[in-house]
Amino acid sequence: MFSSFHLEKQSVWIGIADVITDGRWITYPDTMYPTYLNWDSREPNGKTAENCVEMAKGYGYKWNDISCSHVRKFICEKAR
């Protein structure tokens, strides 16, 4: 399914952030509200310091809010 890397080895960006309004998570680049949420039970917890969302390896690939300055590979949705 993931041809460029092995998902089980790292956390990845998923294209969701709340950089415009804290707590209002939207997808990028289309600025829609996600219809599916998969936060870890302790997340989101970063307030204004953590504005981007990763699927976090350490959380069983549940979502984690994290600073956008972290370097991650990313996953994109493929159009049908």
Statement: residue 4 has pLDDT above 60: no
The token duo for 6 is 């092995």
Statement: residue 55 has pLDDT above 80: yes
H or E element that contains 55: strand 52-56
Average pLDDT over residues 37-47: 96
Q: Across all residues in the chain, what is the average pLDDT? A: 88
Domain ranges of the chain: 7-74
Statement: residue 5 has pLDDT above 80: no
**Fold (CATH) for 7-74:** Mannose-Binding Protein A; Chain A (3.10.100)
Average pLDDT over residues 39-63: 95
Statement: residue 60 has pLDDT above 60: yes
| pLDDT value, residue 29 | 85
Q: How far apart are CA 28 and CA 13, in angstroms?
A: 11
